[in-house]
Structure 1
Amino acid sequence: MALQSAADVPLLITSPNSSSERRISPSWSIAQLKARLEPITGVPASCQQLSLRVGSQDAVAISAVDEKQTRLAAFPLQPYAEMTVVDTRPSAARTDFTDLSSVTKYEMPAAEYEHRSDSVLAWKKAQKLGRFDPDAPSIEQQKIRASEREVEERANCPFQHAAADPWHPWIQTSMASTMASDVSSQIGLPYLKQIDNFVLMAAGGAARLTSSSRLLWCEPSACLALHGRVRLLPETDARRGTISYIGLVPEIPGIGVWIGVTLDEPTGKNDGSIKGKRYFECGKNCGAFVRPERCEAGDFPPLDMGDEDLEEL
């Protein structure tokens, strides 16, 4: 093994088809460097345009009138500086080493692969994993039913259009009486009105008086229904919209119910259709399909530029 000179400098060499760390000797000429870079980058030495960037400084061109005599020591070589190799050939004359479509390769027929005993497929069959699990259909159906049940429970919330303010998280507290006036006095919130066995509080919230004299508060995400307003979670997402579809979407990988949202701004990925099948109508890039747990229902009006400017003050 040849020993590297102590004067060698490690540089990061980048080109259109490769990126690697190489040790460069300052004693080399520019011509010698280009000759060594040709098998590494695939760019002919005569078509290389070199530049050196040290930190945040401007790039320095590695060139000279006489490249056979000019040494690299004349340039500011520093450890782990970045040297960029640009291919000056026309695009049509370049070889695309990343395009594997034209490379002759062996492709095993699917039937032959399925009969092999030393494949991942054979191992999954032996371990009864994935689609080879005899209980897989029932497990998948259980997940689908659980997802549908969650959406159904949230869609049946009786206060999805009644409360304008965000609702409080679930809490439980003992109640001495089921009278609406007593409820408001015990929890310190002004009583607004009573609907059947439910109580609406003016401060925002919906309280249910149960037979066990407990007070239950509804959370915001408990109300998902068509045409309802939602805000997408997490809060860093900040997108808002209207529910336009609730149900299965076989075209998207994964089981369970999806919520189709018409976004207020064109920040989505579709127009309400997936792979040619339409689920709801909306503008270009105004559609999004998300899981129920990413939807928070409530009174979320569309944001405008004034709202964003106010947040920046």
Structure 2
Amino acid sequence: MELELYGADEKFCCKLDQEDALLGSYPVDNGCRIHVIDHSGARLGEYEDVSKVEKYRISQEAYDQRQDSVRSFLKRSKLGRYNEEEQAQREAETTQRLREEQEQASAIPVGSRCEVRVPGQPPRRGTVMYVGLTDFKPGHWIGVRYDEPLGKNDGSVNGKHYFECPAKYGAFVKPSVVTVGDFPEEDYGLDEM
């Protein structure tokens, strides 16, 4: 590694090549900069390919035999996925939540006007364009075409089209934040200008 000192006018002053010298022993003023030249090979990507590094490997069977592992501790303590009661309760909660979502989604007809109230965001109005399951996340989703460009997409996610709308006008929200009713487009009086 080499260190070079440049003045405030970006002109080369000197090399900082004395290992035991303090920075104050060089002609350093306000606005000076120290330029570092790295010859170690790190910039060439020499240390970026971790496939060349030898790693410790252990088979699943050998790891299961060990008594001093995290997995054996979790099994002994019946924690996480090794607690069958908790897993069954979690599955029941997930099933109940999906059932409630499905009931809420079935009450939202496609083509109806709606207002979306996501916590922490202002209410937005639009038209329901899609109701159902999606490929991008589990559960039931409502595809909404907003009246203003307040959305995140154009009715498609990860290349799959669920409905058509202009860019930034579409969004997918959970049924619990959608209220269907008589929500006409808001007129902010901007047409009169």
Q: What TM-score results when the alignment is normalised by the length of structure 2? A: 0.56
Q: 2:156 aligns with which of 271, 282, 286?
A: 271
Deviations 1:259-296 (A, max 9, x none): 142444462498245xx8x5824467776544334444
Residue aligned with 2:156, SS: coil
1:128 is aligned to 2:78 = yes
Native 8 Å contact 1:261 1:287 kept in 2: yes
The answer for the alignment partner of 1:258 in structure 2 is 140
The answer for the alignment partner of 2:118 in structure 1 is 233
Q: Distance in 1 between matches of 2:155 and 2:49?
A: 29
The answer for the alignment partner of 2:96 in structure 1 is 145
Matched to 1:67, the amino acid is K
Residues 88, 132 of structure 1: alpha-carbon distance in 2 compared, 3 angstrom cutoff: closer
Residue aligned with 2:58, SS: coil
The answer for the alignment partner of 1:246 in structure 2 is 132
Matched to 1:226, the amino acid is V
Higher relative contact order (CA 8 A, sep 6+): 2
Stretches of structure 1 lacking an aligned partner (at least 5 in a row)? 1-43, 53-59, 78-82, 157-223
Residue aligned with 1:123, SS: helix
Residue aligned with 2:15, SS: coil
Native 8 Å contact 1:226 1:246 kept in 2: no
The percentage of counterpart residues that share the same residue type is 19
Give the deviation of 1:152 after TM superposition. Answer: 1.3
Q: Distance in 2 between matches of 1:105 and 1:143?
A: 39
Residues 68, 146 of structure 1: alpha-carbon distance in 2 compared, 3 angstrom cutoff: closer
Give the deviation of 1:140 after TM superposition. Answer: 1.1
1:119 is aligned to 2:4 = no
Q: Distance in 2 between matches of 1:87 and 1:260?
A: 55
* 1:201-240 paired onto structure 2 within 5 Å: 224-228=108-112, 229-236=114-121
Native 8 Å contact 1:267 1:286 kept in 2: yes
Stretches of structure 2 lacking an aligned partner (at least 5 in a row)? 18-22
Give the deviation of 1:63 after TM superposition. Answer: 6.0
Q: What TM-score results when the alignment is normalised by the length of structure 1? A: 0.39
Size of the aligned set, in residue pairs, is 174
Residues 131, 85 of structure 1: alpha-carbon distance in 2 compared, 3 angstrom cutoff: farther
Residues 263, 131 of structure 1: alpha-carbon distance in 2 compared, 3 angstrom cutoff: farther
Q: Distance in 2 between matches of 1:100 and 1:61?
A: 42
Native 8 Å contact 1:49 1:86 kept in 2: yes
Matched to 1:234, the amino acid is P
Which structure has the greater CA radius of gyration?
1
Residues 127, 281 of structure 1: alpha-carbon distance in 2 compared, 3 angstrom cutoff: farther
Residues 96, 268 of structure 1: alpha-carbon distance in 2 compared, 3 angstrom cutoff: farther
Native 8 Å contact 1:62 1:75 kept in 2: no
Residues 99, 285 of structure 1: alpha-carbon distance in 2 compared, 3 angstrom cutoff: farther
The two structures, once aligned, show a CA RMSD in angstroms of 4.8
1:74 is aligned to 2:74 = no
Give the deviation of 1:244 after TM superposition. Answer: 0.9
Native 8 Å contact 1:271 1:281 kept in 2: yes
Q: Distance in 2 between matches of 1:87 and 1:240?
A: 57
Deviations 1:19-75 (A, max 9, x none): xxxxxxxxxxxxxxxxxxxxxxxxx32xx67789xxxxxxx5876243259955522
